[in-house]
Amino acid sequence: MFWAVEILAQVLIFMVGAALAVVVVLFFIDRFQTHDAIRRNYPVIGRFRTLFTNLGEFFRQYFFAMDREELPFNRAQRDWVERAASGHGNTVAFGSTRNLGITGTPIFVNAAFPPVSDQYAQSVPLVIGPTARQPFEAKSIFNLSGMSFGALSRPAVEALSLGAAKAGIWMNTGEGGLSKYHLRGGGDIVFQIGTAKYGVRNTEGDLSDEKLREIAAHPEVKMFELKLAQGAKPGKGGILPAAKVSAEIAAIRGITEGVASISPNRHLEIDDWDDLLDVIEHIREVTGKPVGFKTVIGSIDPFDELFQRIVARGSDDAPDFITVDGGEGGTGAAPMPLIDLVGMPIREALPLVADLRDRYGLHERIRLVASGKLVNPGDVAWALCAGADFVTSARGFMFSLGCIQALKCNRNTCPTGITTHDRRLQKGLVPEDKFEKVARYAEGIVHEVETIAHSVGVTEPRKMGRHHVRLVQENGRSVPMSQIYPAIRPPA
């Protein structure tokens, strides 16, 4: 017994000695380094500042932030997605935790005599691109926004593909090209063409008609989306860090393995609206499928010119859809000034674009897709009231996969395996399990938007208009959205 105590004492003495040695070494390192003033003035203990700073975002998320306080998404928003994705009931008790006095809060106008239960509101398919050789009948009002293979991991793309197919929604490839993982589910796909034209570029980086035809030959590919800009980084091309450019991703994109992939800030061959319409018409002719574009609104004035050019050229030259991304949109990597300060928010931009489209008589020709931080049923219902035909979400579906908002998307260290190519971390994401959550989330959104539509007294969610929602003003009172943004078209 005595010898065991003696060994334990020796072990403890050794550990204390080793710890003191480490402290002494760190003391001299900190005292004589020159890049950190805190550590130089307060050796060793100054290191705790960096530690606590790095851990602060996690402690705030779990212990200090209230349910409605966090950014970019608060706990209440994330919890709704988690409950929907898990198949749990989304009913709540006692009362709302939402502060209904915050300026801009939407309040839907319930009907005095809503339809009886057997007249429940149901969304219906809507045709996009009626003049294309192969129009697309889109089944769902809510769909999956663009996230590329590269920004997302292989198992994440597979899970999204399988889930989107099960829910009957479309999946946007993002600008990184079409992979076998996008095709795994067999569902509808929108192929996005970014400024670098990954997946459809020739050796010089220009658009290749041959590769366009190859992509269009996949029956799953229903539409093409030309990306002019995205909400998180208007005026800046896509950024894929070198750590994420694997051999497989390099082959799909047509770039060099292990080298950061930075796309041009715009399509070099598109200098004005006529150039844009020419490129759209060319892609539509080559592929036979509907073609639209995605952009961010900085000012509405240039888009007035766009619609003038469409009318002058004829509606056959019109884009089949326009995706309006809000300045609050997200991404895997972008400069902070662009994320924080550039681009009109979706709640201002969408009504303005919808009114322009309708003013020029193009409501039935051009479909509007709303994108930008719309992850819960109220967000989607608001967008439909504002004039959108469809809503897409990226981060909502990331939450359904298990994203914990760790804010590590650009570091290849995502702890949930969603945005990393580290095989060890990817093991945590099992597509065969997660795809069910993806599907349930999409179905949950549609179901609850239909619930709102039924409450306001319409038979289909797209029949909701601006008079069906009120917006809280600075004085605490709400006014109809139709008073702030008078609709060009009469209510359905």
Structure tokens at 296: 């961010």
> Which pLDDT does position 53 carry in this prediction?
64
Mean pLDDT, to the nearest integer, of 219-238? 82
pLDDT tens readout for residues 244-267: 778 888 888 888 888 887 788 888
> Which pLDDT does position 329 carry in this prediction?
61
379: left (phi over 0), alpha (psi -120 to 50) or beta: alpha
Could you please report the per-residue DSSP string of 238-289?
Answer: -EE-GGG--HHHHHHHT--TTS-EE--SS-TT--SHHHHHHHHHHHHHHH-S
Confidence at 69, pLDDT banded by 50, 70, 90:
low
- E strands, 287-341, in order: 291-296, 321-325
Structure tokens at 183: 């095709």
Can you give the pTM of this predicted structure?
0.84
Helical packing angle, 273-287 and 301-313, nearest 10°:
50
Q: What percent of the chain has pLDDT over 70?
A: 83
pLDDT tens readout for residues 264-278: 888 889 999 999 999
Confidence at 238, pLDDT banded by 50, 70, 90:
confident
Q: Pick 481 or 398 by higher pLDDT.
A: 481
> Which pLDDT does position 415 carry in this prediction?
78
pLDDT tens readout for residues 88-134: 766 665 556 666 768 888 899 998 888 877 677 888 999 999 999 99
CATH of domain 119-484: 3.20.20.70
> Which pLDDT does position 42 carry in this prediction?
75
> Which pLDDT does position 54 carry in this prediction?
63
> Which pLDDT does position 97 carry in this prediction?
63
Taking all residues of the chain, what is their mean pLDDT, rounded to a whole number?
84
Neighbours of 408 (CB within 10 A): 17
Has residue 228 got a pLDDT over 80?
yes
83 φ, ψ (degrees, to nearest 5): -65, -40
Closest CA relative to residue 108, chosen from 481, 490, 491, 483: 481
Closest CA relative to residue 250, chosen from 303, 198, 182: 198
> Which pLDDT does position 11 carry in this prediction?
75
Q: What residues pair up with 84 in beta bridges, in sequence order?
A: none
pLDDT tens readout for residues 168-227: 999 999 988 999 999 999 999 999 999 989 999 888 888 999 999 999 999 999 999 999
Could you tell me the CA-to-CA distances from 420 to 22, 35, 239 in Å, in that order? 33, 30, 15
Mean pLDDT, to the nearest integer, of 423-441? 85
Mean pLDDT, to the nearest integer, of 16-23? 85
Q: What's the CA gap between 327 and 141, in Å, rounded?
A: 22
Q: What residues pair up with 367 in beta bridges, in sequence order?
A: 321
CA atoms within 13 A on the CB side of 190: 33
Reduce the secondary structure of 152-178 to three states and give it as a string: ECHHHHHHHHHHHHHHCCCEECCCCCC
Has residue 146 got a pLDDT over 70?
yes
Are 415 and 425 within 8 A, CB to CB?
yes
Mean pLDDT, to the nearest integer, of 326-351? 71
> Which pLDDT does position 439 carry in this prediction?
92
Could you tell me the CA-to-CA distances from 151 to 244, 343, 467 in Å, in that order? 8, 22, 39
pLDDT tens readout for residues 356-381: 999 999 999 999 999 988 888 899 99
Confidence at 2, pLDDT banded by 50, 70, 90:
low
Q: What's the CA gap between 172 and 178, in Å, rounded?
A: 10
Confidence at 9, pLDDT banded by 50, 70, 90:
confident
CA angle 419, 187, 350 (to 5 degrees): 70
